[in-house]
Amino acid sequence: DFYEDSVKSREQLPVRDELLNRMQKFLGAVNTTLQHLRIQGLIYSNLEPEVNVLLSNPEIVEKLEQCVMNWQTHITIVIEEQLRKSPQGPGPMAEIAFWQERAFILCALNEQLKQPVVRKILDVITKADAGIIQTMEETAAELLTYCVESKENIRFLRTLERHFLNLATATSFGVILETIPALMESLQIVWIISCHYNTNERMVPLMERIAWQLCEHASQAIDVRTVFKYREVSKTKVCNAKQILDKWKSSYFEMRAEIEESGRDSRWEFDRKRLFEKTDYMASVCQDLYNALQILEEFYNIFGPELKGVTGDPKRIDEVLCRVDSLVLPIEEVSFNPFDICKIQSWKKIMQDFDSTVQTIEGEAISFIDQSFKTLRSAAAAFNMLMKFKHIRSRESINQHLMRKFNDILVQYSKEVASMNEIFEAKQNKPPLNKYEPPVAGSIRWARTLLYPSKQTLLPFLDVPEMAETEKCKYVAFAMKLKDYEVKRFNNWETETKNNLPLLMKKTLLAASQYAPPANGNLQRGVRYALNFSPEIREIISEARNLVPMGYSVPYLAQSVALQEHKFIRYGDDLNNILSCFHSALDSLSEAKFSMLSPQINAVKKVLLFGCKRLNWTSLGIPEFIRRATQAVSKFESVVNQIQKNETDIESKLQSIATANLLKFPVPVKTNELPGVKEFCERIERERVKTVNLLTRKYSDIGPLITKIEHLIMETSSGKAKSMEEYYMHWEHQVLDSLVKMVMSASLMGSTVLFQIDVILSAPKIVLQPQNNEIYRLIMQCIRDCVESTKQFMRWMRGTCIECPPQCVGGEDELVTFNFYSDICQHPEINESAMTVSQNIQRLLVSVDRFLNHWKRYRPLWEKNKTIVNEKFAARKPSCVMYDDKLQFFARIKQELMQEHLSKNEHSIHLNLEPLANTVHEIAESWISSLGSLLNKPAKEDLFSLRDEFMVWHYASLFDSYDYIIYIALFLYVN
């Protein structure tokens, strides 16, 4: 549309003007060159003779007359062309360019007439024809007049050129504002001195061009569509644009008044409509835009965060602000150029609608404020907002209405004071406290918190005459009530502190208690020590630290204790660490170790008893006591830690025993490398012997480790300390448990194949090699060997950790060794496990037998006497077909045998069926051989007989070819 085109044109004007200026200069240079060429072409070249000689030649004179007439015509045409031209562009720089071009062309033409050859031709024509030369001289004079005029105008316009350039190219409004007064003074000088610009007809167009340049600069700076998006910057631009437009008019009238006062020069009676109509209109549009921006700012100042905080209805305020934002939409969406004076009525209509909408919003805002102030959230915030609006520019009607809301604020303040009073009455006996806040100081702080908002709200009220004295009286009564409450709470605390604090400080450092009766009746086991620093002292210290900053004077003893708070905290932390370490070490001790370490424990308790009996919190020997207690507990902890380190080594050895594998055997990768059951048991036995020897060495190391513990505690290495009997017994039981676990883990039943067993035919039975009972005996012997391996672990002598040597019992010569075997073999879990292993082996062998029942279907092959059976069959003189059926039956048996699997895995047993299959195959072959031998004799006889008949009855038709073929086939088959 037109507005978009105008915006684009304004953006392109600087480039366009520069291009036009350069093009005009270029065209001027081209025209000048053409004029030179035309004059040169009109000059007659053959003029070397003297004037008189030329006059004597009529032909030459005629040509020269024609030449002068052409000159006169050309000069006239050039002058007329220049007079018809006008400045190219509406700006003042176009005026300068126009006169520069005219002066350049006319002066160049005038200079051509001054050439010697031209003057010679004019002298010839003057003497030849006076009429022609008179016309030429008049034309030359006219040319000279216009040339002088152009030069003079350029000389005066150059005094204005700097100002014109500022107007055309300035990037800031400040430069233009400074330029306008100086430009007006320069125009006055030109008006007075110039012979051309000293009339209304000449000066008004020049000033009109200046007014256009100012309007153009203002319109380029202001874009109505974006002016409200960047309000602060746009407001400055609009204000500056209006200033330069107003400055133009005011400078004109100031200069006009100055001319009139001087009375020396001609007055300026220019056409004001031409000079100021457009600038005044644009200034009015700028004023409208400035007013709209100001109105938006005023509305935003009113409906800001302050009013939201006071009214508590931000949603309603946002709705009003949306209405405010929509005010400028008709201006932003205008479809024409607002600076176009032809659209003045359309612009006035838009601004009238804007003003009416503003009044409507003002009415709604006033109604909203009336409703909001009836339900104020904070009197202080409302008062501060009113005071702020006194100094902030906002809508006058709304501002005045707000200033009448002091009564509503007083009502709200009364409600706030009454609300604070209700809260105080409800919670004064149990006020809400912050975390870790003492009760007295916390209650005083809470009371002051209730009073502070009312006080801060009242103080600004005192400076405003409109505020009533009644509100001050309500505040004073409330403040006195809170003050009495504070004084009463402090006095009660002060009295209690003076009476109780000396007694609390005389309590001992530590207190002993019995936390739980031990199971074995050892009362010393349940003794616990605790820090005896009363919580009341901590509360008094906290009260003192909080009351002093509030301005209260606490008792001297409380102040002294509070100053030593860090010292008491350090003492308490040190003592708690000591007790924690001691109790932790005690809890880690078993009953055996507790009895064993009784001397060390009693030594620590003796040191701690000093803090339970002699020292209190006013004693000077507390640091020394802490030092001694730290040393005693550290020494006790060191002993316990070293014992635990040795016990870790012992437990490691016992773990090795418990997890030892007594049936260790490397499993072959290939099945054909599996050993037989006897070889397997022998390998296991060899590995078991190695393992047991290693474990016995580890077991032998346990006694010396316990002896080290004895040396650590009692500084003896006897291995038979009386106080450690229970401790010795404890570890002996642990050894027994480890051996039980070791034996319990011995098992051969699993899914891994360990050994192989051959299956053979021992007619009439299919048996294993070795047999079932031998396999059972060998495996159970491995298990019994595992149990008997515990005989190598010697028992300790009673009350010691020394292995018991062989003893003579009952007067017998053979020495008896006391080991763990007797306990292991009688252990119910071991017996149950052995029974389970026995049952598993039996079930496994039964499963193998059940699998071998599959081969019993071949039992007739070896149970029947093949010689007797076959002879009975042959005695019946069977036919060849019957022999063939028998032979086919045994051939099928051989075929089935070839398809049978030659091995089978049953848990840990690999059955080798190849010997069995080979034997059965051989028996089937023997049956076939036996039948063949029986068939051989009758088949030979029949065959020879058939041969004889064949010789006699050669080609006889009665010969049964079928029988012949059968006999031949049987003969060949048998042989």
Say if residue 770 is preceded by a cis peptide, omega within 30 of 0.
yes
Angle at 228 (CA atoms; ends 223, 232), nearest 5 degrees: 100
Q: Name residue 140's amino acid.
A: A
- Burial environment of residue 600 by CB neighbours within 10 A (0 to 12, 13 to 18, 19 or more): middle
Q: Which has more pLDDT, 955 or 449?
A: 449
Q: Residue 521 pLDDT > 50, yes or no?
A: no
820 Rama class: left (phi>0) / alpha (psi -120 to 50) / beta? alpha
**Percent of the chain topping pLDDT 70:** 79
Of 58-67, 712-721, 912-921, minimum mean pLDDT range: 58-67
The pLDDT value given to residue 631? 94
Q: What is the mean pLDDT of residues 54-72?
A: 77
Cβ neighbours of 845 (radius 10 Å)? 20
CA–CA dist 835, 923 (Å, integer): 42
Q: Which of 429-443, 541-555, 935-949 has the lowest mean pLDDT?
A: 935-949
Contact yes or no for 102/90 (Cβ under 8 A): no
Rounded CA separation 911/731 (Å):
46
For the ranges 371-380, 438-447, 683-692, which has the lowest average pLDDT?
371-380
Tens digit of pLDDT for each residue in 533-570?
888 888 888 888 888 888 888 888 888 888 888 998 99
C-beta neighbour count of 160 within 10 angstroms: 23
Average pLDDT on 9-28 reads 56
**Residue of 689, 836, 665, 678 whose CA lies nearest to 753:** 665
| Residues whose CB falls within 8 Å of the CB of residue 934, separated by 6 or more in sequence, listed in order | 870, 871, 873, 874
DSSP character for 462? T
Average pLDDT value for residue range 187-211: 81
Q: Where are the alpha helices (DSSP H) in 597-715?
A: 598-613, 622-658, 677-714
Nearest to 747 by CA among 719, 779, 774: 779
Identity of the residue numbered 821? Y
pLDDT band, very low/low/confident/very high, at 632 (cuts 50, 70, 90): very high
Q: Cα(508)–Cα(485) distance, rounded to whole angstroms?
A: 37
Contact predicate 629/576, CB 8 Å: no
Q: Which position has the higher pLDDT, 604 or 50?
A: 604
Domain boundaries of the chain, sorted by first residue: 38-169, 405-506, 508-515+526-659, 691-753+769-845, 847-951
Q: Which class for 210: exposed (0-12), middle (13-18), buried (19 or more C-beta within 10 A)?
A: buried
Pairing state of beta strands 903-906 and 909-912?
Answer: antiparallel
DSSP state of 667: P
Closest CA to 701 of 595, 593, 841, 803: 803
Distance (Å, whole) CA 922 – CA 195: 155
10 Å CB burial of residue 875 (0-12, 13-18, 19+) is exposed
- State the distance between the two ends of the chain, measured CA to CA, in whole angstroms: 124
State both tokens at 2: 């037109």
Q: Write b or e for each residue in 750-786: b if 16 or more Cβ atoms lie within 10 A of its Cβ, otherwise e.
A: eeebbbbbebbbeeeebebebebeebbebbeebbebb
Q: How confident is the model at residue 624 (pLDDT cuts 50, 70, 90)?
A: very high
**Mean pLDDT along residues 481-503:** 87
What span, in angstroms and rounded, lies between the C-alpha atoms of 895 and 901?
13
According to the model, what pLDDT value does residue 8 have? 44
pLDDT value at residue 826:
87
Q: What is the mean pLDDT of residues 281-309?
A: 76
Contacts of 857 (CB under 8 A, 6+ apart): none
Q: Which residue has the tokens 């009665």?
A: 958
pLDDT at residue number 415:
67
Instruction: Give the integer Cα–Cα distance in Å for 144 and 159.
Output: 24
Residues 109, 35: contact at Cβ < 8 Å?
Answer: yes
Residue 39 has pLDDT above 50, yes or no: no
Say if residue 43's pLDDT is above 90. no
Q: By mean pLDDT, which of 312-326, 336-350, 709-723, 799-813 is the weakest?
A: 312-326
Model pTM above 0.85: no
DSSP-derived 3-state class of residue 816: strand
Question: b/e per residue, 468-498, with b = 16+ CB within 10 A?
Answer: eeebeebbeebbeebeebbeebbeebbeebe
Answer whether 531's CB lies under 8 Å from 507's CB: no
How confident is the model at residue 17, as a pLDDT? 53
Please provide the DSSP assignment of 754-806 as one string: -EEEEEEEETTEEEEES-HHHHHHHHHHHHHHHHHGGGGSBPBPTTSSSBPPP
* Structure token pair of residue 952: 């006699």
Average pLDDT over residues 443-468: 62
- Region 238-242: mean pLDDT is 81
What's the average model confidence in pLDDT over 444-467?
Answer: 62
Q: Which two tokens stand for residue 966?
A: 């059968």
Residue 411's pLDDT band (boundaries 50, 70, 90)? low
Residue pLDDT, tens place only, 126-143: 777 666 777 888 888 888
**3-class state of residue 530 by DSSP:** strand
pLDDT at 652: 92
Q: Identify the bridge partners of residue 755 per DSSP, sorted by sequence position.
A: 909
770 and 781 Cβ atoms separated by less than 8 Å:
no
**More confidently predicted of 530 and 256:** 530
Q: Which residue has the tokens 């309000």?
A: 231
How would residue 633 be classed by pLDDT, with cut points 50, 70 and 90?
very high
Band of residue 11 on the pLDDT scale cut at 50, 70, 90 = very low
Tell me how far the alpha carbon of residue 266 is from its chain's centroid: 81
pLDDT averaged over every residue in the chain: 78
| Nearby residues of 539 by Cβ (< 8 Å), 6 or more positions away | 438, 439
Q: Are 390 and 402 in contact (CB under 8 A)?
A: no
Type of residue at 201: E
**pLDDT score at 31:** 61
Q: Name the residue among 9, 18, 143 with its Cα closest to residue 83.
A: 143
Provide the pLDDT for residue 760: 87
pLDDT in tens, 26-38: 665 566 556 555 5
- 328: which DSSP letter? T
DSSP string of 136-205, one letter each residue: HHHHHHHHHHHHHHHHHHHHHHHHHHHHHHHHHH-SSHHHHHHHHHHHHHHHHHHHHH-SSSSSHHHHHH
Residues 334-391: tens digit of each pLDDT: 888 888 888 888 888 888 888 888 777 777 666 666 555 555 555 555 555 554 445 4
The Cα 703–Cα 725 span in angstroms is 13
Contact by Cβ (8 Å): 373, 382: yes
What is the rounded CA–CA span in Å between residue 685 and residue 705? 31
* Length of the chain, in residues: 975
pLDDT > 90? residue 577: yes
Q: Is 365:320 a contact under the CB 8 Å cutoff?
A: yes
More confident: 639 or 304: 639
Average pLDDT over residues 312-324: 73
Cα–Cα nearest to 942, from 962, 971, 965: 971
Cα(564)–Cα(574) distance, integer angstroms: 16
Average pLDDT for 689-697: 91
Residue showing tokens 């200026």: 21
Residue 968: name the closest of 945, 953, 956 by CA. Answer: 945
